[in-house]
Amino acid sequence: MSHIKGETFEVDIHRLDDKGAGQAVVWRKNEEGNERKLKLTIPYTLPGEKVRVTVEQPHKRRWKSKADTVLEGHSKRVDARCPHFESCGGCVWQHWSYEGQLEEKTNYVKTVLHNQGFDSEVVKDTIGMEEPWYYRNKMEFTFAVDGSLGLHEQGNYQRIIPLETCFIMKQEMKEAVLEVAQWVKENQLSGYHKEKREGLLRHVMVRQSFHTEEILLAIFATEGPDKVSGIDDLTERIEKKFPQVKSLLWLENRNWADRTQAEETHVLSGRDFIYDELMGYRYRLWFDTFFQTNPAQAEKLVELALQMAEPKPTEKMIDLFCGVGTFSLPFANRVKELAGIEIVETSIESAKRNAEDNGITNTHFLAKDARHGIDEVLGHFGKPDLLLVDPPRSGAGGKVMRRIGRSKPIRIVYVSCNPASFAVDIKELEAFGYTLQTVQPVDLFPHTYHVELVALLQRETI
């Protein structure tokens, strides 16, 4: 039986994996009569559902496949809004009511903290969005070899789903991107073939400030604009139809790596950046500037960090992994001195410029890795009263966390985009007398499995 091709099972979804897909287990006997476990990953299913699934190679120990039929659905299962759902790699939870998504995100944060020995009662309910659609201020699209433009198919980077609509970015952004797609089609321009490493067009990036409404539109290609016919027509069309596009860029990228990077930047119209605002502070955003992609919830993160930290005008503060100063500027206005540390030099240059643009003079920004940056700052600056850490998805790591512990700030605010690495990181602080006071999850990416959080840790003073 175990080698019959296309065996069908009825299974219960017992949990979700860390990519938001359903998990099920089947026990069955092999030819020797021994029980064998088959682990199934079934995307677009929800915990507690019963589904029918076909396993094309049942002798495998693991299998990933969509369900043939949902036999018993979750009480909070809903119809997906987007026609691209289940093919596009963007949203994976549109089949779940927003209320259900938020509950799952809260439970996930509680679980990862419990697994590290923390009291999950400190975790509050996830803060969601009033309008969980049209929330992204930045999107990237890829050209297929035939020049059509869209998003990668779920789990298949070879296939591009042509863009018709998208419910997580603003309408103006979508229309500007579709204008580029139409221009490409009319001019019969080719997309880039990754295997053959030939073809012209690679990506389109669009970002828009929800405050200033300025749009940056960037086209990534393997050749300069001087070698492409119809460029003037594109520029005129964008300028005429989308006056809010303040930055129209053509970016040369001949690199083998499939990333939105550039060896040379050509400004077709406007300037090479746009202005955005967060918490009343003005920021300049270039095509490669890291900035929160959900501005409404990003402001919520900053507000929560300020509430938890309670910064005082007599205090010194370190902002670790400070980026372009998203947290640095609002905090700097409330403390005596702030030192920002970030390894990416262009981000530090932006942070300095952003501080200057906003008339903030009590900041010191340092382009260094976190561990050595802390040592240098402590030498000049002395012990911080307050430390904010906002690391990448991989977390800060044990060495950095122990260095933070030894620097003995009274309060630590940790902003995380990955609760699992957060839980591992803060475990390191227990040995230095820190207790976890509160954890507030925030939903920055509705209809996906991602959840961010802001947490406060306090040092016990003896």
> Strand order of the sheet with strand 434-442?
363-367, 337-342, 316-320, 386-389, 411-416, 452-459, 434-442
Q: How far is CA 420 from CA 116, 285, 416, 423, 424, in A?
A: 9, 30, 9, 5, 7
Query: What DSSP designation does 217 have?
Result: E
Question: Are the C-beta atoms of residues 18 and 449 closer than 8 Å to each other?
Answer: yes
Residue at 295: amino acid letter: P
Token pair in block for residue 4: 């019959």
Whole-angstrom distance, CA of residue 454 vs CA of residue 443: 11
Q: How far is CA 183 from CA 99, 148, 172, 238, 459, in A?
A: 41, 11, 17, 10, 59
Whole-angstrom distance, CA of residue 358 vs CA of residue 346: 18
The C-alpha R_g of the chain, in whole angstroms, comes to 25
Residues 6+ apart with CB under 8 A from 204: 140, 141, 143, 149, 177, 180, 181, 217, 218, 219, 220
Whole-angstrom distance, CA of residue 285 vs CA of residue 304: 24
Whole-angstrom distance, CA of residue 212 vs CA of residue 243: 13
Which residues on neighbouring strands pair with residue 251, listed in sequence order? Answer: 220, 265
Distance of CA 97 to the CA centre of its chain: 21
Catalytic residue among 88, 166, 322, 417: 417
**166 catalytic, yes or no?**
no
Whole-angstrom distance, CA of residue 327 vs CA of residue 330: 6
Residues marked active site are found at 417
